[in-house]
A = this chain, B = another copy of it.
Amino acid sequence: MPRPSRWNEIIEAAAEAFRTNGFAATSLEDIASAVGMWKGSLYHYINSKEDLLFAVVRGPAEEILNQLRELSDTDLPPTEKIRRATRSHVQILNSNFVYASVYLQEIAGRRKLPEWTAMDREYLNLLESIVREGVDSGEFSAVTNPRVATLALIGSLNWLTHWYRPGGTLHADEIADQFCDLFLGGLITRKTQASRSQTVTPLKTTKPRAKRTA
């Protein structure tokens, strides 16, 4: 059988090593021996060690941002947007766990290359806009500071890399639902209000290019 692309093997080995030991503590020999070749041979695929980091991280980073972009262009009510954004975030973290973990631990901290900080800022701003929609429409009147509320949500989601493991006892869907209920409804329950989880209706209501109010 034609064995799968060597490049993918390298990226996966690099991602796994970066996640477990961190970028700086991972040597090229670790990665090379994991795929069964000499460390010098890696330079047929890369120009530097950092190339591996960016290659590992680019895919999921763009995907998670694009999904939020699409969601922001719909005219769903803010409550539903928050719910879907949460589900989307959790699911991408689930299906690209190793890569996403490397991003959050190595890129979103320390390294502040303008390309990546721009992505982080856009993601934050898009989510904050949704929260502001809810504040303006009166739905989210508990929010005194939309940015802080948004960062609280992002923190809960990104912290998943510290405890969630794909294939564990906790399924990604239940975690997402619990997060939604918690953020929309809070710990304390009110009796009425339609804020509990429902099965997701995959409607795709894309507005024809709505201008985003930053």
Interface residues of A, Cβ cutoff 8 Å to B: 20-22, 24-25, 79, 82, 105, 108-110, 131, 134, 139-145, 148-149, 151-160, 162-163, 170, 174-175, 177-179, 181-190, 193, 195
Cβ distance A71 to chain B, nearest Cβ, rounded Å = 17
Complex CA distance for A135 and B178, rounded to whole angstroms: 14
Closest to A142 in B: B189
Query: How many Å lie between the Cα of A133 and that of B177 in the bound state?
Result: 22
A184-B186 in contact (CB<8A): yes
> Which of B110, B139, B187 touches A82 (beta carbons < 8 Å)?
B187
Query: What is the bound-complex CA distance between A187 and B138, given in angstroms?
Result: 10
The reply to whether B187 and A148 contact each other, CB–CB distance below 8 Å, is: no
Assess A156 versus B152: contact at CB under 8 Å? Given A187-B134, A188-B139: yes
Contact with A149, one of B108, B109, B182 (Cβ below 8 angstroms):
B182
Q: How far apart are the CA atoms of A149 and B185 in the complex, in Å?
A: 12
Smallest CB-CB separation from A101: which chain B residue?
Answer: B109
Determine the chain B residues whose CB is within 8 A of the CB of A157 once the complex forms: 155
